[in-house]
Structure 1
Amino acid sequence: MKKQAQARQRRVLKGLPRKRTGRRTARSGNRFDAGANAGYSEGVRAGLETFGTVFDGTSIIIPSYNQLDYLKKCLASINVHTSVPYEIIVVDNASSDGTGAYLQSAGAGGVVRCRVLERNRGFAGAVNVGLMMARGSSLLLLNNDTIVTERWLDNLLACLNSDPAVGMVGPVTNYISGDQRIEVSYTDERGIAAFARRFNVADPAKWQPTDRLTGFCLLFRRELFERTGYLDEGFEIGNFEDDDYNIRVRLQGYRLLTARDTFIHHFGSVSMKALGEKFQEVNDHNRDVYTAKWANPHELIQASRLPEADRPAQGETAFYPQGVAVRGATATRYWIEGGLRRPIAGETGMPVVRLSQIDVRRWPLGEPIAADAADAAWLALPPVWEDGGALYLAENGLRRRLPTARAAEAWGLQLRRGEALAPEERALLGEGLPVIVPARVAERL
């Protein structure tokens, strides 16, 4: 039986169909459907019972859109070259090339956990679904057009776990923008394994600090995800969502490292290239979203640089304003005040900002507040002001910079109608953390 199971798994990895024992009749089809439905229900039940359970291993999250042949190569390479504990989660963006059917058959064989989406939610949307499904103590985002290599994950984990101040790490490759690209000596796929075997010799001296890691292969701890949250789905289809996440991690005082002792092969943006003429339109849109959100993010990081000892315990929530109303995936509205989220009793007239549940839960729960009391408190808050071309907000004796007008609009801060602070009052304010635009997240499986 063990040999039969192993042979079945090998066939799934190679994309070959399982052996059939005869032609499927209507009666057998009904039994099959009933069994499939029962299995799905059992899976849902088991998933609910074990929700929140974390295992000491890595969740490898692979977003996919068409390109089934590349995905098969990627999965096969993980199976061959990964010796440390892991799970594979593939989230498919409504592919039209049979990827969904393949994933469901592979999942039935125990090779992957998968979610086939009803529509294309882009790279960020697919990754976020994978993050919701993930159970590993470390999380790795991996493009479907990659081939991983000997000791790849061992080396990356060693780099990540070398220092708590390291937030994210990534390998080098043959095809990428930025300084993660290296020259390779092979000319076809047959040469990848031999090249990587010589290259992937663990060497901490080759771990290089960087300001930017691309999302084709990105490893971080679950703790960082809980502090930072999901990718921003405001970046449609793909591009710039990894740059955005880099900024959000660095603002918290974490470092990024390129593991230059680790190589994986990257065929290179095959899903994005498949967009054809639409690629430029998508890229331009996402660049505009990034610019409207951050303006000059590197200057902002330098101005807000935090030593590790001062890293905010509440993670990215420290970069959100007080005196606002928010909600998560449920209908409950909260008034944010004094570092607490207070349930609002009644209908509020102020704008309510939609956040992810992981963002909302970073604020400890406080006592409920009546809607009219929350509205009155919001209306009494002073408006933002401009100084030297930059926008600022007064909060708890501090002035907090808003990187762009979009940051004010995202929180409804431009609608405040309280009494403006006089220049002499502003001069007495200390310097607080900047206020950033929250990530847009659909947050549904």
Structure 2
Amino acid sequence: MRGKLHTAARKHRAHKGSLSRNRNGLIQRNTIAKGSKTSRKIIGSRKRTDRGTVGNQQFQHGYERGYTSGVNQGVESFAEPFHGTSIIIPTYNQADYLIQCITSIEAHTTDPYEIIVVDNGSSDHTGQYLQQRVGQIRFKQLETNRGFAGGVNQGLMMAKGDSIVILNNDTLVTPRWLSNMLRCLYSDSTIGVVGPVTNYISGEQQIQVPYDAVPQMWAFAEQHNVPDESRWSKADRLVGYCLLFRRELLKSTGYFDEGFEIGNYEDEDWMIRVRLSGRELVIAGDTFIHHYGSVSMKNLGQQKFEVVHEQNGTFYEQKWGNPHKWVQQVKALGAVRSDSGTSSSCQAVDFYPTGVIIRDQSGRKYWLQGGRKFLCSEDIEENRTAVLVSMLDINSIPEGPVVDWLSARAELANSTSDALKEGQLFSCGDGNIYQWQQGTRRPFVSKEAVSRWMLEGSEIQQIAQEKLYAAPEGLPIIAPPVLLNPIL
């Protein structure tokens, strides 16, 4: 049997040909072509090349199919939030600080996160750095500087996380920074925004630190950032260098007001709106991050910085008057609503007037009445300008049927309640302007609010002070945020 096997093997080798090496050292097989006595040499390396070509083609085909499938899945899931935190960093011409900030995030963040950088038209090497990080961080490069509010809004529109952090580019985050703040945020449903403490900021969030230079800071932060809820405290104000909040808060509060140029006061404005919604601001005293301090604003130069600061301060005052007065009034009204068994939290639309026309960026117009929007069925005359409202806010307003806005306005004008028409503006000489809505008097927080809603030319009815104060008070009417970004 063994002899037969050897004979069969010899016959097989004879049929297939013998192996040898050519002068280039490549393995070759010598075979006899079928039907011919002429030998034919097949170079082993060539066979491998043929197989490699086929393999490469198969790999490329599989890669393309996988890539296409991945793109399609990405498009389908684009609007779906992920269970993590979106960290938004607006930046302008401070690439080295930005790189340090991102490096610290990647070194000291253990919870799921995504980084979103919004470049406000930087002229330094910020763009080059971002291009090097394609696929690792998400970013948007704007052609012009839209300021802090504009950069933040762009990032908010891009954010997909269940929670969101707004972070200055001149910060360094530290061990357990995000996990400590998340623990604080989700400890109570009434908490709207959480902020850490730091070495350089105005207000209650600044603490004394024992270090003089960044290398010494890390040991201090490691020791400081021990989870301890006894170091959490409520506040009337948080500064926008680092803010953490739930995604739902954005839907109820809306975007930052882009009427504040470059920087300063836009975070103060947003915090007032958060507090009006019934949410609390909390300082997480067990979380420390380092803040170099207003690097972008200082880069303006002292003279321009003072001009911007003064302009934004004036804009803030004209918009709000005394904002803390309105916060206290809304809190009092919230207590009444809580006693009646309804939710004490408010949405952005709750602070809109009634009987006005709003529009989105595409030009679609709605008649707003009683907290509902009604799509206008026909064009509105040119001299009645609609108020621009973000798609985020418009989508949060309950929708009624399509209406002929002229008929809706006439119906509103004909409705009466104790001789006051629904939507009527009135005053009693106390310096405030009110709107009558569903049996309540709703004060405009300022003349700027009246103007922003395109109501400054409306008739204002004068009534007796006793009659005014006899009516129950409703929620104040605030100015809608200025939106300069054409895609919000």
Please, what TM-score do these two structures have when normalized by structure 1? 0.86
CA apart distance, 1:414: 2.7
Match in the other structure for 1:65: 92
Q: 2:392 aligns with which of 358, 375, 399?
A: 358
Pairs within 5 Å for 1:17-416: 48-106=75-133, 108=134, 110-276=135-301, 277-305=303-331, 306-307=334-335, 309=338, 310-311=342-343, 315-349=347-381, 350-377=384-411, 381-416=423-458
Give the conservation status (yes or no) of the 8 Å contact 1:348–1:375: no
CA apart distance, 1:302: 1.0
Bigger drift between 373-382 and 58-67 goes to 373-382
CA apart distance, 1:124: 0.5
CA apart distance, 1:47: 5.7
CA distance 1:419–1:185, change in 2 (3 Å):
closer
| Identity across the alignment (%) | 48
CA apart distance, 1:45: 6.7
1: distance between equivalents of 2:352 and 2:344?
12
CA distance 1:314–1:412, change in 2 (3 Å):
same
Give the conservation status (yes or no) of the 8 Å contact 2:429–2:462: no
CA apart distance, 1:386: 4.6
CA apart distance, 1:391: 2.2
Task: Supply the AA of the counterpart residue of 2:391.
Answer: Q
1: distance between equivalents of 2:171 and 2:231?
22
Match in the other structure for 1:6: none
Task: Supply the AA of the counterpart residue of 1:166.
Answer: I
CA apart distance, 1:202: 0.5
Give the conservation status (yes or no) of the 8 Å contact 2:370–2:437: no
2: distance between equivalents of 1:47 and 1:377?
47
Structure 2: tracts of 5 or more residues without a match? 1-66, 415-422
1: distance between equivalents of 2:451 and 2:197?
38
Structure 1: tracts of 5 or more residues without a match? 1-39
1:151-180 CA-to-partner distances (Å, cap 9, x unmatched) read 000100011111000000000000101110
Match in the other structure for 2:417: none
CA apart distance, 1:428: 4.3
Bigger Rg, structure 1 or 2: 2
1: distance between equivalents of 2:119 and 2:232?
33
2: distance between equivalents of 1:415 and 1:44?
52
Bigger drift between 415-424 and 176-185 goes to 415-424
2: distance between equivalents of 1:304 and 1:53?
33
CA apart distance, 1:197: 0.4
What's the secondary structure of 1:179's corresponding residue?
A: helix
CA apart distance, 1:417: 3.5
CA apart distance, 1:372: 2.5
CA apart distance, 1:220: 0.3
CA distance 1:427–1:260, change in 2 (3 Å):
closer
CA apart distance, 1:443: 4.8
Give the conservation status (yes or no) of the 8 Å contact 1:312–1:318: no
Give the conservation status (yes or no) of the 8 Å contact 1:147–1:265: yes
Instruction: Give the total of aligned pairs.
Output: 404
2: distance between equivalents of 1:313 and 1:352?
28
Match in the other structure for 1:35: none
Match in the other structure for 2:4: none
CA apart distance, 1:379: 6.2
Please, what TM-score do these two structures have when normalized by structure 2? 0.79
> Comparing both chains, which one has the higher relative contact order based on Cα–Cα distances under 8 Å and sequence gaps of 6 or more?
1
Give the conservation status (yes or no) of the 8 Å contact 1:165–1:255: yes
Task: Supply the AA of the counterpart residue of 1:282.
Answer: V
What's the secondary structure of 2:118's corresponding residue?
A: strand
Give the conservation status (yes or no) of the 8 Å contact 2:425–2:433: no
1: distance between equivalents of 2:73 and 2:144?
26
CA distance 1:426–1:85, change in 2 (3 Å):
same
CA distance 1:209–1:424, change in 2 (3 Å):
closer
CA distance 1:311–1:289, change in 2 (3 Å):
farther
Task: Supply the AA of the counterpart residue of 2:118.
Answer: V
Give the conservation status (yes or no) of the 8 Å contact 1:155–1:262: yes
1:313-339 CA-to-partner distances (Å, cap 9, x unmatched) read 661210111111101222211001232
1: distance between equivalents of 2:310 and 2:372?
38
CA apart distance, 1:43: 9.8
1: distance between equivalents of 2:119 and 2:73?
22
CA distance 1:211–1:424, change in 2 (3 Å):
closer
CA distance 1:83–1:218, change in 2 (3 Å):
same
Aligned-pair RMSD on alpha carbons?
2.2
Match in the other structure for 1:417: 459
CA distance 1:46–1:236, change in 2 (3 Å):
farther
1: distance between equivalents of 2:174 and 2:69?
35
1:222-259 CA-to-partner distances (Å, cap 9, x unmatched) read 01111111111011100001100110000111111000
What's the secondary structure of 2:205's corresponding residue?
A: coil
Task: Supply the AA of the counterpart residue of 1:245.
Answer: W
Match in the other structure for 1:32: none
Task: Supply the AA of the counterpart residue of 2:101.
Answer: C
Match in the other structure for 1:438: 480
Give the conservation status (yes or no) of the 8 Å contact 1:400–1:431: yes
What's the secondary structure of 2:396's corresponding residue?
A: coil
CA distance 1:212–1:313, change in 2 (3 Å):
closer
CA apart distance, 1:396: 1.1
